[in-house]
């Protein structure tokens, strides 16, 4: 869990720095930053999704995951959670929840998160997550400058999600096939494409509602492997 703890700490420290220097970043620079990040997120998502080997299972996972997420109202619950934290911290930031969810998705849907958490769970190395921590540190400075204190609180779901993967892998890691890891990366890449669309303000997508697809793809690939 060392890599995840360092990663979460890097997000907190970077966010604090970003909040301190928030007024020094004019809005026009915030806009161009998000355009750049949005384009990069699209590119990263496309690159991750190109490794697809079971398109039918991926589509099925996204559809079922979206339906489950919508029925559970995950997007609304995250917004309520963000508003609850906002009220407890007496924050007046209108973009609190947006900052929390955007930062969480950016930090946790990349291949570095999945592969890094799995490597740490196997007990191999924390190098990938430590490298990611440096990247997230600088990203959190800019994100917090633009979206406010919600970015700082994204360290909590990051800790739970990334640390959860590491914990699960440490318990059953030897039984996780490479095929499952590969298709998880594909689904995460598609979710990142959706986030990129949101960042570029092309269309507002309920990306959080798609997160259950990550669970479905694991189940479907495992079933497929048992049938072969």
Angle (CA) 14-20-21 rounded to 5° is 90
The string over 166-196, giving b where at least 16 C-beta atoms fall within 10 Å of a residue's C-beta and e elsewhere, is: beebeeeeeebeeebbbbbbbbbbbbbbbbb
Question: What span, in angstroms and rounded, lies between the C-alpha atoms of 26 and 180?
Answer: 44
Phi/psi of residue 53, nearest 5 degrees: -125, -10
Please name the helix (run of DSSP H) or strand (run of DSSP E) that holds residue 118, with its range, or none.
Answer: helix 111-122
Calpha distance 39→103 (Å, rounded)? 15
Give the predicted TM-score (pTM) of the model.
0.82
214 to each of 44, 81, 144, how far by Cα in Å?
Answer: 17, 22, 27
Local confidence pLDDT in tens for the 228 residues of the chain: 899 999 999 999 999 999 988 777 777 887 888 888 889 889 988 998 998 999 999 999 999 999 999 999 988 888 888 888 888 777 777 788 888 998 999 898 877 888 888 888 888 788 889 989 998 999 899 889 888 889 999 999 999 999 998 998 888 766 678 888 889 889 989 998 998 998 898 998 888 899 999 999 999 999 999 887
pLDDT of residue 33: 80
Q: Which two tokens stand for residue 20?
A: 């301190």
pLDDT at 173: 62
Nearest Cα neighbor of 147 from 5, 25, 13, 9 is: 25
Q: Which helix (H) or strand (E) holds 14?
A: helix 2-20
Cα–Cα distance for residue pair 224/54, rounded to 1 Å? 10
* Number of folded domains that form the chain: 1
Q: What residue numbers bound the domain in which 20 lies?
A: 2-227
Rg (alpha carbons) of the chain, rounded to whole number? 17
Looking at residue 174, its pLDDT comes to 63
DSSP state of 209: G
Cα 167-65-105 angle, rounded to 5 deg:
60
Pick from 214, 224, 198: nearest CA to 106: 198
Length of the chain counted residue by residue: 228
Inter-CA distances, 123 with 24, 108, 117, 129, Å? 42, 20, 10, 13
């Amino acid at each position: 869990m060392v890599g995840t703890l360092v990663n979460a700490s890097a997000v907190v420290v970077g966010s604090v720095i970003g909040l301190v220097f928030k007024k020094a970043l004019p809005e026009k620079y915030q806009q161009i930053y998000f355009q750049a990040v949005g384009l990069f997120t699209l590119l990263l998502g496309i690159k991750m999704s190109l490794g697809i080997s079971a398109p039918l299972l991926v589509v099925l996972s996204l559809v079922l995951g979206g339906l489950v997420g919508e029925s559970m109202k995950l997007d609304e619950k995250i917004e309520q959670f963000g508003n609850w934290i906002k009220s407890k911290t007496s924050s007046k930031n209108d973009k609190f929840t947006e900052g929390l969810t955007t930062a969480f998705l950016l930090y946790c849907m990349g291949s570095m998160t999945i592969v890094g958490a799995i490597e740490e769970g196997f007990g191999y190395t924390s190098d990938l997550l430590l490298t990611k921590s440096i990247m997230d540190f600088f990203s959190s400075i800019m994100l917090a400058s633009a979206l406010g204190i919600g970015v700082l609180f994204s360290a909590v779901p990051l800790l739970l999600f990334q640390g959860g993967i590491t914990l699960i892998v440490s318990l059953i890691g030897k039984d996780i096939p490479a095929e499952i890891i590969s298709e998880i990366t594909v689904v995460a890449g598609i979710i990142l494409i959706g986030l990129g669309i949101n960042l570029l303000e092309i269309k507002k997508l309920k990306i959080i509602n798609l997160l259950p697809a990550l669970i479905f793809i694991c189940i479907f690939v495992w079933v497929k492997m048992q049938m072969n």
